[in-house]
Amino acid sequence: MSFLILVRHGQSIWNLENRFTGWVDVDLTEKGRYEAEKAGKLIKIRNIDIDHYYSSIQLRANNTLKIIQQTLKDKKKFSRAWQLNERHYGSLTGLNKMEMIKEIGKEKVHEFRRSWDSKPEPLNKESPYHPTNIKIYSQIPQEDIPNTESLKDTYERVIKYFKKEIEKKLSNKNVLVSAHGNSIRALCKYLFELDNIQISSLEIPTGNPLVIELDYKLKIKNCEYLDKERAKDLLVF
């Protein structure tokens, strides 16, 4: 038996401002840091010892994980991978979601946010929000840096990395992944075998550990959010 714990980063500055964030590297709010600390406390109460930690290379996910580890008093090094980054929102990056609803309509914004294969127009490479203009992405091969992504695009990079680097660690080991709303939605689609319609309804709360219990064949036995007051519908179990 093993456990896979998925944690979306705590509330970020742009979550608070209701902006499309994607690959822009913003930090946590005070509330986000509190959510991360609470996540660590809940994992500690659940008494799950983590063998391996993974995160995207984005600050909000890294700092969420660091706070969790500090709360657990666990000094293990964690692996950082750009493949676990948030979905790239293309030309929507930095824009306020409510303002975009007024401009292009609620249905179109919902389509961009939740559909499987729709994606916004590419982000101009001259934009300061483009990943090629953000220092932390300088080590990523240029051909791997997106200008925009659908959830399908995000799924393909996340699951390729998961199968190669994480899945094999789950044989009698416990793994925690600190990532983002859409990279965790991608993982849930794969793990729970959700179809393209089901995944559009799945929302991931910030800073709330999703604990997935796996049997020796890596089949899901059970799953639960540890913060019951902020749990979302998993569409399964």
3-state secondary structure the chain: CEEEEEEECCCEHHHHCCECCCCCCCCECHHHHHHHHHHHHHHHHHCCCCCEEEECCCHHHHHHHHHHHHHHCCCCCCEECHHHCCCCCHHHCCCEHHHHHHHHCHHHHHHHHHCCCCCCCCCCCCCCCCHHHCHHHCCCCHHHCCCCCCHHHHHHHHHHHHHHHHHHHHCCCCEEEEECHHHHHHHHHHHHCCCCCHHHHCCCCCCCCEEEEECCCCCEEEEEECCHHHCCCCCCC
Check pLDDT > 90 for residue 112: no
Check pLDDT > 70 for residue 234: no
Neighbours of 211 (CB within 10 A): 20
Q: Residue 108's pLDDT band (boundaries 50, 70, 90)? A: confident
Distance separating alpha carbons of residues 8 and 65, to the nearest angstrom: 10
Check pLDDT > 60 for residue 236: no
Q: Return the structure tokens found at 15.
A: 């979550």
Q: Return the structure tokens found at 49.
A: 């010892």
Question: Contact 24/94 with Cβ under 8 angstroms?
Answer: yes
pLDDT digits (tens, 9 = 90+) for 10-20: 999 999 999 99
Check pLDDT > 80 for residue 114: no
Q: Return the structure tokens found at 198.
A: 């089901």
pLDDT value for 138:
95
Check pLDDT > 60 for residue 235: no
Share of the chain above pLDDT 70, in %: 98
Neighbours of 9 (CB within 10 A): 32
Distance separating alpha carbons of residues 124 and 128, to the nearest angstrom: 9
Q: Residue 136's pLDDT band (boundaries 50, 70, 90)? A: very high
CATH topology for 2-230 is Rossmann fold (3.40.50)
Cα dihedral sign, 202-186-89-118: negative
Listing from the earlier edge strand, what are the strands of the sheet with 210-214? 79-80, 52-55, 175-179, 2-8, 210-214, 220-225
pLDDT digits (tens, 9 = 90+) for 174-194: 999 999 999 999 999 999 999
pLDDT digits (tens, 9 = 90+) for 20-53: 999 999 999 999 999 999 999 999 999 999 999 9
* Residues catalogued as catalytic: 9, 86
Token pair 């399964």 is at which residue? 236
Token pair 């991608």 is at which residue? 186
> Which sequence spans correspond to the domains of the chain?
2-230
pLDDT digits (tens, 9 = 90+) for 153-175: 999 999 999 999 999 999 889 99
Determine the average pLDDT of the residues in 131-140. Answer: 96
Distance separating alpha carbons of residues 208 and 232, to the nearest angstrom: 10
Check pLDDT > 50 for residue 237: no
Q: What is the mean pLDDT of the chain?
A: 93
- Asked whether the whole model's pTM tops 0.85, one would answer yes
* Ramachandran region, residue 21 (left: φ > 0; alpha: ψ -120 to 50; beta: rest): alpha
